[in-house]
């Protein structure tokens, strides 16, 4: 996207995103976050998504399963892509796609693994804070 795009223009473009484009946006955030880490074996983007809000944590692993935290390269566009993914899945699969956490794992060969997680405790806390 061009640097002069307004947030509205960016949103309009993301609304038309296909699932592959969304995964590509997530892969960019993961790869950018570990670009200075030599010999990483996987980049793990842990996403918490509630209505109107997306949170990111990025980790990497070398040759073990231990995860090491790294500064995130996720952007506003990455957040919009997560919201779009959630909307696309809800439109396609209905209640069978219920998730508020997502673990996106990128491997050096650009293969990905995605886990959709429903965290009832997170939703309970959101409902409680919203007075529901």
Kindly state the helix (H) or strand (E) to which residue 124 belongs, with its residue range: helix 120-129
Residue 1 lies in a domain: no
Which position has the higher pLDDT, 11 or 56? 56
Q: What is the pLDDT of residue 64?
A: 73
Number of domains composing the chain: 1
Helix and strand tally (H, E) in the chain?
4, 5
Residue 77 is assigned to a structural domain of this protein: yes
Q: Is the pLDDT of residue 16 over 80?
A: no
Phi and psi, residue 115, nearest 5°: -120, 125
3 compared with 42, residue with greater pLDDT: 42
DSSP-derived letter for residue 94 is G
Look up residue 129 and give its two tokens.
Answer: 């804070």
Four-residue CA torsion sign, 112, 30, 63, 68: negative
Question: Is it the case that residue 3 has pLDDT exceeding 60?
Answer: no
The secondary element (H helix, E strand) that includes residue 14 is helix 7-15
DSSP lists the bridge partners of residue 113 as 105
Residue 2 lies in a domain: no
- Tell me the sheet residues that pair with 49: 54
Q: Is the pLDDT of residue 132 over 80?
A: no
DSSP 3-state of 78: helix
Structural domain including 17 reads: 7-129
- Please report which helix (H) or strand (E) contains residue 68, including its range: strand 68-70
Residue 10 is predicted with a pLDDT of: 54
Residue 69 domain flag? yes
Per-residue pLDDT tens for 114-129?
Answer: 999 999 999 999 889 8
Write out pLDDT tens, residues 57-89: 999 999 877 898 998 888 888 998 898 888 888
Q: pLDDT higher for 17 or 84?
A: 84
- Considering the entire predicted model, what is its pTM? 0.80
Is 47 part of a structural domain of the chain? yes
Q: What is the pLDDT at residue 2?
A: 47
Q: In 3-state terms, what secondary structure has residue 128? A: helix
């Amino acid at each position: 996207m061009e640097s002069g795009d307004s947030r509205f223009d960016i949103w309009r473009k993301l609304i038309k995103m296909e699932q592959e484009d969304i995964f590509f946006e997530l892969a960019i955030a993961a790869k950018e976050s570990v670009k200075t880490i030599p010999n990483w074996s996987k980049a793990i983007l842990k996403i918490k998504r509630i209505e109107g809000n997306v949170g990111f944590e990025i980790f990497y692993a070398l040759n073990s399963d231990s995860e090491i935290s790294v500064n995130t390269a996720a952007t506003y566009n990455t957040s919009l892509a997560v919201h779009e993914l959630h909307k696309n899945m809800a439109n396609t699969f209905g209640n069978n796609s219920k998730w508020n956490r997502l673990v996106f794992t990128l491997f050096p060969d650009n293969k990905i693994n995605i886990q959709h997680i429903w965290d009832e405790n997170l939703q309970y806390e959101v409902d409680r804070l919203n007075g529901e």
